[in-house]
Amino acid sequence: KQEVTQIPAALSVPEGENLVLNCSFTDSAIYNLQWFRQDPGKGLTSLLLIQSSQREQTSGRLNASLDKSSGRSTLYIAASQPGDSATYLCAVGPTGNQFYFGTGTSLTVIP
Amino acid sequence: NAGVTQTPKFRILKIGQSMTLQCTQDMNHNYMYWYRQDPGMGLKLIYYSVGAGITDKGEVPNGYNVSRSTTEDFPLRLELAAPSQTSVYFCASSARLAGSTDTQYFGPGTRLTVL
């Protein structure tokens, strides 16, 4: 069974700092990896999706990388803002038709 | 586009009661999913559907049932509610077709408490 781990569980940074969130997975036979943002009491919003044949994807201040051989993905957030405060989750798959989610990193950006 | 909508937003059930969580998507996606999210845990897949009339179990299907009579709707039925089913339930959809990105789109969730 695929296991997805996100470290750290919580992170607090001052505004303007660049930061990296980590996602690791145990089975490298994945089709894609997706990063989501979840605000308190809300659903998940897709940020970036990386296909297994890709190494990275960029959207604005966000850059996600994928290294299948080592079972790792990183989400880089440049020039963090208080509005970036949220929980960030990664999901890998599908294995069969199932996606596996990490438990998330709770990010707080301090003004 | 409304995307993925879920009703109700909140519900309190008594042990043994039944209810249906509604999910509708207007993106003509073939794949639909039901997840539950417990505090401090990742999302767990309950059931999924690859198209109208086709459903299959996910990781945690016990105590739930689903049906998919149309492309748009994917209701989740809870029979004989138990406290262990207290959770936040999310519906999602994706277009798993050749040439698509398979991005999952999520609804806002239903917060269910069983007392």
The pLDDT tens digits for B8-48 are 999 999 999 999 999 999 999 999 999 999 987 889 999 99
Subunit contact A103:B48, Cβ cutoff 8 A: no
In this predicted model, what pLDDT tens digit does every residue of B52-79 receive, in sequence order? 999 999 999 999 999 999 999 999 999 8
In this predicted model, what pLDDT tens digit does every residue of A83-106 receive, in sequence order? 999 999 999 987 777 889 999 999
Confidence tier at B5 by pLDDT (50, 70, 90): very high
- CA distances (Å), origin A95, targets A2, B13, B29: 8, 34, 19
CA distance B62 to B2: 30
User: CB-based contact (8 Å) between A49 and chain B?
Assistant: yes
Nearest residue to A85 (alpha-carbon basis) of A100, A64, A107:
A107
Query: In chain B, what residues touch A89 (CB-CB under 8 Å)?
Result: 42-43
Residue B100: the pLDDT is 56
Query: In chain B, what residues touch A7 (CB-CB under 8 Å)?
Result: none
- Name the token pair of B74: 């994917």
Section B82-98 average pLDDT: 90
Q: Sign of torsion, CA A26 B101 A98 B91?
A: positive
Residue B101: the pLDDT is 60
Residue B1: the pLDDT is 65
In this predicted model, what pLDDT tens digit does every residue of A7-16 receive, in sequence order? 999 999 999 9
Query: In chain A, what residues touch B4 (CB-CB under 8 Å)?
Result: 43
Confidence tier at B97 by pLDDT (50, 70, 90): low
What are the counts of helices (DSSP H) followed by strands (DSSP E) for chain B?
0, 11
Residue B37: the pLDDT is 95
Subunit contact A98:B58, Cβ cutoff 8 A: yes
Contact at 8 Å (CB) between A74 and A22? yes
